[in-house]
């Protein structure tokens, strides 16, 4: 019996210590290891190498020689941030606690086309309605709705008020200029209030392997009419280059509706849903891992083009007018 008990404990010790065999130690946290982890993960999961004609191996050859075991955290951060900047993607960030890298060129090099003070002074005024994140005001017989971030959730009751006011108007202007995105479900909910029937507005595919062209199949993205009531009159959506990510998706949803158009500048893009990752030194990052195309196979990453291209006029602003809103009002009136 003693022999069997000894044998059992021998097995137990052997099996209990097999954790190292099942799960080897985490990768190292030195500068070289951290660089390699980030470079490899981006190479394996980033979705726009082919679309943007980026040679990630070439980028490695450029940056890898600058990494050494002695470099400080700040130096390493700057090197990795510069490398990620090459992706030209607003959904790419490296977060370190002391700084967050980003590429905001998707709007910085383009006209702003939006003046928040002008909106408040000349259009929202002092008695505008606030329904959750939706700020709305009647401009004579047209409802103007301003939504500044899709990260702020819309409730059904918020939306119901907007729909009821829209029904008493000749048309609706939805201003999502400078809306940098947020939660796609808020975009779908808002668009559902203006849809008559279920419609495919885009198609999306997700990375499915380490090759730059490894993707799953294209899947339809749809909007459905809101069950508690919709407004099917004319709708104009105002966009600019700072309309990004979920706002780009919202613009595309509205663009396919027969009763809606987009007006202003094209959106900034952000058509890839970001996936997250972590490095062994404690830093985290994200980058796009999907592709989304419109019904004409155009990448939403490049932005959604405005149906009616209009820039904000300095002359109009100087006389206290937003000429995009003025044009939207004219479009709605011409439809009635």
Partner 1 sequence: MQAYSQSSGSLFLSTGIQDFTSRDQGFSPQKYSGIRSMSTAIFQLHKPQKTELFQFDFAYGPLENRIGNSMNAMTIGFLTYTYYHKRKTGEKNLHWGWSNQNLFNIRSHNGFSNYSLRYDYFTSLGPSVRYIMPLQWKGQHFEWHTLSHLQVVGFQVKSGYIGANPDGYSGENTTIGNFFESMEPFIIGKDWNFGLTSSFYWELPSENKLGVNYRLDVSGLQGSQPVASFGNALLLVLKVKLW
Please choose, from the candidates 241, 253, 262, 89, the residue with its C-alpha nearest in 3D space to the C-alpha of residue 180.
Answer: 241
Could you give the C-alpha distances from 266 to 107, 178, 325, in angstroms and in order? 10, 12, 16
Beta strand 134-139 pairing with 142-147: antiparallel
Q: Say if CB 176 and CB 238 are below 8 A apart.
A: yes
CB of 174 to partner 1, least distance (A): 25
Stretch of residues binding partner 1 (CB under 8 A), selected from 161-169, 202-210, 299-307, 319-327:
202-210
Q: Which 25-84 residues touch partner 1, going by CB under 8 A?
A: 26-27, 37, 45
Please choose, from the candidates 74, 106, 78, the residue with its C-alpha nearest in 3D space to the C-alpha of residue 90.
Answer: 106
Q: Say if CB 304 and CB 248 are below 8 A apart.
A: yes
Q: How many angstroms separate the first and last alpha carbons of the chain? A: 95
Please choose, from the candidates 31, 36, 35, 100, the residue with its C-alpha nearest in 3D space to the C-alpha of residue 68.
Answer: 31
Whichever of 45 and 167 has its CB closer to partner 1, that residue is 45
Query: Could you say which of 90, 171, 233, 274 contacts partner 1 (CB under 8 A)?
Result: 274
CB of 67 to partner 1, least distance (A): 18
Whichever of 12 and 130 has its CB closer to partner 1, that residue is 12
Query: Could you say which of 18, 200, 295, 330 contacts partner 1 (CB under 8 A)?
Result: 18
By the rule CB under 8 A, 2 interacts with partner 1: no
Query: Could you say which of 105, 276, 320, 330 contacts partner 1 (CB under 8 A)?
Result: 276
Q: Is 8 exposed, middle or buried (0-12, 13-18, 19+ CB in 10 A)?
A: exposed
Could you give the C-alpha distances from 276 to 20, 41, 90, 285, in angstroms and in order? 26, 10, 14, 6
Whichever of 117 and 217 has its CB closer to partner 1, that residue is 217
Stretch of residues binding partner 1 (CB under 8 A), selected from 116-124, 172-180, 191-199, 276-284:
276-284
CB of 265 to partner 1, least distance (A): 27
Query: Could you say which of 158, 230, 245, 273 contacts partner 1 (CB under 8 A)?
Result: 273
Tokens of 40: 């490899």
Query: Could you say which of 80, 92, 145, 206 contacts partner 1 (CB under 8 A)?
Result: 206
d(CA 328, CA 42): 42
Stretch 228-267: interaction string toward partner 1, x if CB under 8 A: ----------------------------------------
Q: Which 282-311 residues touch partner 1, going by CB under 8 A?
A: 282, 284, 286, 289-290
Query: Could you say which of 55, 280, 295, 330 contacts partner 1 (CB under 8 A)?
Result: 280
What is the residue whose two structure tokens read 């706002």?
247
Phi, psi dihedral angles at 201 (to 5 degrees): -115, -20
Task: Tell me how crowded residue 280 is: count the other CB atoms within 10 A of its CB.
Answer: 13
Tokens of 86: 């090459």
Site residues (CB under 8 A) for partner 1? 1, 4, 8, 11-12, 15-16, 18-19, 22-23, 26-27, 37, 45, 206-209, 214, 216-217, 219-220, 273-278, 280-282, 284, 286, 289-290
């Amino acid at each position: 019996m003693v022999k069997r008990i000894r044998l059992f404990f021998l097995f137990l010790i052997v099996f209990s210590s097999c954790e190292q065999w099942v799960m080897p130690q985490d990768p190292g946290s030195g500068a070289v290891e951290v660089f390699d982890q980030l470079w490899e993960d981006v190479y394996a999961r980033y979705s726009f190498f082919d679309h943007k004609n980026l040679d990630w191996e070439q980028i490695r050859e450029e940056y890898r020689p600058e990494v050494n075991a002695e470099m400080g955290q700040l130096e390493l951060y700057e090197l990795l941030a510069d490398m990620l900047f090459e992706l030209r993607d607003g959904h790419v960030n490296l977060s370190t606690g002391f700084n967050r890298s980003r590429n905001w060129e998707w709007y910085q090099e383009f006209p702003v086309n939006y003046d928040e003070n002008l909106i408040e002074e000349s259009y929202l005024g002092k008695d505008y309605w606030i329904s959750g994140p939706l700020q709305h005001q009647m401009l004579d017989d047209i409802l103007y709705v301003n939504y500044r971030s899709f990260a702020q959730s819309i409730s059904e009751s918020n939306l119901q008020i907007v729909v009821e006011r829209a029904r008493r108007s000749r048309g609706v202007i939805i201003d999502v200029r400078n809306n940098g995105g947020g939660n796609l479900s808020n975009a779908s909910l808002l668009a559902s209030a203006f849809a008559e029937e279920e419609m495919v507005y885009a198609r999306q595919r997700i990375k499915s392997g380490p090759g730059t062209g490894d993707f799953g199949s294209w899947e339809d993205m749809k909007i459905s009419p809101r069950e508690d009531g919709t407004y099917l009159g004319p709708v104009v959506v105002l966009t600019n280059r700072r309309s990004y990510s979920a706002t780009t998706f919202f613009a595309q949803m509205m663009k396919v509706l027969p009763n809606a158009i987009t007006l202003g500048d094209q959106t900034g893009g952000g058509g890839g849903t970001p996936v997250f990752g972590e490095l062994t030194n404690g830093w985290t990052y994200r980058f796009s891992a999907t592709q989304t195309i419109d019904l004409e196979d155009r990448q939403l990453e490049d932005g959604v083009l405005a149906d009616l291209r209009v820039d904000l006029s300095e002359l109009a602003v100087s006389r206290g007018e937003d000429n995009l809103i003025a044009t939207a009002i004219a479009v709605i009136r011409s439809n009635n």
